[in-house]
Structure 1
């Protein structure tokens, strides 16, 4: 069981890093392809919006497929798309590869929590979810810096290719260690496709997800603006502080995996932590050390919120866990985009090209 959960966590790591891959390589991509930074930024924007539009229909279409076969296929898709980047110097082709990867990304995250819970036996749902979601923190702490460093030394295409190789290795481990689990049994509609089920609580949780994630990304997207205004924080210190944020996220996930709390309590505690951290940012912090403490708290809090909300969504819709997760993923990605836009408005960053510098 631990091996299987570890494979899912590793899969989460490469999947989440794949979404963030262009972030640290935008300047290199723009320079190599002869395009503007704003145009290169479409590799991130389009990815998020494809997930938003496709996650529910693709999840419903794949709901009855054996989970092992589905996740092996999705890991193979990540490997193919990232690996193929090494063979193209065309922006349109690069964008197409990102769209294909995004189509698999949504269903990957819609199914990962329920798959983990189904194979975890008597382990509390929040603990199983926390283990596989540790891949998110690893993507921030290790994945993005590693791909960026690879791109800096060997070229941006190698940064993509490295994670294509990682995906291929994890796919082979998935073939060996992941158990076969049939998709959830669901009622079907007249078309023969699984019939979605909305409930008041599920819609409420989707709304809560949208609000919390929007609030988080309103400030997180532009956190460097706040940090650079603090005395003693230069570019090198800023890199360390962002790393501290990722470490905080890893610690938050570890805490959740050690203590089995109700998803509602996790969400409440994490939301309070985010609000506190953001409030502290509005105070004139004396230096890098205090800023690091705030970022560590913030990283810890957002990871607790993510696990809490995901577990709560599944708990609220046990008969349709993957549809519920798909709705959660959709709300999450709308929150990312809405938060970035709203944050840009309030900070005066109205030019979309500023979002990708």
Structure 2
């Protein structure tokens, strides 16, 4: 594994940890800032809005900058933002700071994906995407529990001080290991070209698949804790360990999806979507039974991220000649899907459906996704089109 990819992984781990760690210290943050826990929850939704709306805009505005310089600038804002969060005097300041970091987060992942696939040959693009995504899954398995533990021991502000140190480590890794760009600035395609690549059926169908995947995953996952407690009957102290197992499965799935994307991208994706639809049915059936439910949660987490990797690889491959705007829509699409899923799940619960019914909506979403992916593959075969090969123009030299 190359050092440049490791540097990008460390930075992805830092951003992933700061996004998710707030959940581990939310009660302490609420108490420290003098708000209720539901109000403090806006720190989570505000972050998602920042990624979804601000990320693409900042990506386009900064598209003339060197990729390496831009990444360092984004991580610098991240690091300063963590210090500012640690010193935040009130909730309003904390919310604004979190949304500012989220905008940087959305741009960071869009640019990093483009840089990562440019550091490897085309047949290894799936692995490169998987490695960056693993920064998110590993942050859930390692970063979030550590951040929560620091907050419990030393107070929630200490968690953000620790995040600022992680930002410095990520900056140092990029300075030392990521090669400099070829030119003074990355060439920006015309706006019409940036928008035009989104009209390729492989791109817009992949964005739709991403949306369906997030609905299939987060309609049940948003409410997985009460589901495990009330339906499965697990003790509340056991639930975090089941979620940890889901995170381990997600990490396994990221690299499984990367390998499959480098082998047979579309056939693998379609098969995994069907398997995930079946898994969600099993999740519904197994939910009253602890051990089958725990095992299913692991498989579910594995397949979620195994599907996400080839979807993103496909978007990056088919927008290689104008990747800026499209790459920034990847984290935006994920967060929009998460927000829609939370609303759909809440609507089902408010309509009288129980937690156990939520995976069935996910099943429908995954089956729709599988059908769309199959049709997209048929269109692609009929047209005989091939992905563009101009991505190297805006990437670091090796």
Q: TM-score, normalized by length of structure 1?
A: 0.91
Which has the higher mean CA deviation after the structures are superposed, 57-66 or 272-281?
A: 272-281
Question: Given that residues 230 and 288 in structure 1 are in contact (C-alpha distance below 8 angstroms), is that contact kept between their aligned partners in structure 2?
Answer: no
Give the 5 Å matches for 1:204-243.
Answer: 204-230=205-231, 233-243=234-244
| Aligned mate of 2:265, from 252, 263, 283 | 263
1:142-175 superposed Cα distances (whole Å, 9 cap, x missing partner): 1111111111111111112211111111101111
Q: Give 1:205 deviation, angstroms.
A: 1.7
Structure 1 equivalent of residue 349 of structure 2: 347
1:234-268 CA distance string (max 9 Å, x none): 11221111000001011112324455323323432
Alignment of 1:305 onto 2:307: yes
Residues 283-319 of structure 1: per-residue CA shift (max 9 Å, x gap): 1446432222111111111111221111011122121
Distance 1:227 1:341 in 2: 20
Is the 8 Å Cα contact of residues 150 and 156 (structure 1) preserved in structure 2? yes
6 and 60 in structure 1: CA distance in 2 versus 1, 3 angstrom threshold: same
2:195 maps to what in 1?
Answer: 196
Distance 1:71 1:17 in 2: 17
Query: What's 2:91 paired with?
Result: 91
Structure 1 unaligned regions, length at least 5: 351-357
1:18 matched residue in structure 2: 18
Q: Which residue of 1 aligns with 2:383?
A: none
In 2, the alpha carbon distance for the partners of 1:269 and 1:72 equals 39
- 5 Å-filtered alignment, 1:142-181, equals 142-181=142-181
Q: Which runs of 5+ in 2 are unaligned?
A: 353-398
Larger mean CA deviation between 167-176 and 261-270 belongs to 261-270
> TM-score scaled by structure 2?
0.82
Following the alignment from structure 2 to structure 1, what is the Cα–Cα distance between the partners of residues 154 and 275?
39
Q: Quick one: distance in 2 between partners of 1:333 and 1:339?
A: 10
Instruction: Output the aligned Cα RMSD.
Output: 2.1
Is contact 2:43-2:98 (8 Å) kept?
A: yes
Kindly tell me the number of residue pairs found equivalent between the two proteins: 347
Report the 3-state secondary structure (helix = DSSP H, G, I; strand = E; otherwise coil) of the residue aligned with 1:282: helix
Matched position secondary structure for 1:262: helix
CA deviation vs aligned residue, 1:200-248 (integer Å, no higher than 9, x gap) = 4222222221122122111110112321235551112211110000010
Q: How far apart, in 1, do the equivalents of 2:298 and 2:223 lie?
A: 17
Task: Give, in whole Å, the separation in 1 of the partners of 2:135 and 2:268.
Answer: 19
State the shift of 1:189 in Å.
4.5
Residues 37-66 of structure 1 show CA distances to partners (whole Å, capped at 9, x for unaligned) of: 121111111111121112222111122211
* Maintained 8 Å contact 2:219/2:341: yes
